[in-house]
Structure 1
Amino acid sequence: MRRIDVVGITLGVFLVGGLAYLLLEKIGLDSMSAGIWSQVLLVGALIVWLVTYLTRVLGQNMTYNQQLQDYKEAVLQKRLEELTPEELEKLQTEIEQENQEGKVQKKANC
Structure 2
Amino acid sequence: MRRIDVIGIGFGIFVAGGLAYLFFQSVGLDSISAGIWAQTLLVGGLLGWLLTYAFRAVTQTMTYNQQIKDYQQAVLQKRLEELSPEELERLQAEVEQEKEKEGKCSSGN
Q: TM-score range by the shorter chain?
A: over 0.9
Asked if residue 14 in structure 1 is aligned to residue 14 in structure 2, the reply is: yes
| Whole-angstrom distance in 2 between the partners of 1:9 and 1:42 | 13
Aligned residue type for 1:106: S
| Whole-angstrom distance in 2 between the partners of 1:69 and 1:4 | 28
**Corresponding residue for residue 50 of structure 1:** 50
**Corresponding residue for residue 39 of structure 1:** 39
Aligned residue type for 1:20: A
Structure 2 residue matching 1:28: 3-state secondary structure: coil
Aligned residue pair count: 109
After the TM superposition, list the runs of 4 or more consecutive aligned residues in structure 1 that deviate by more than 6 angstroms: none
Structure 2: tracts of 5 or more residues without a match: none
| Whole-angstrom distance in 2 between the partners of 1:82 and 1:73 | 14
Identity between Structure 1 and Structure 2 (%): 61
Asked if residue 26 in structure 1 is aligned to residue 26 in structure 2, the reply is: yes
Spell out, residue by residue over 1:62-81, the C-alpha distance to the aligned partner (whole angstroms, 9 max, x if none).
11000000000000000000
**Corresponding residue for residue 74 of structure 1:** 74
Spell out, residue by residue over 1:37-95, the C-alpha distance to the aligned partner (whole angstroms, 9 max, x if none).
00000000000000000000000001100000000000000000000000000000000
Aligned residue type for 2:98: E
Aligned residue type for 1:85: P
| Whole-angstrom distance in 1 between the partners of 2:108 and 2:47 | 49
Provide TM-score, normalisation by structure 1.
Answer: 0.98
Aligned residue type for 2:61: N
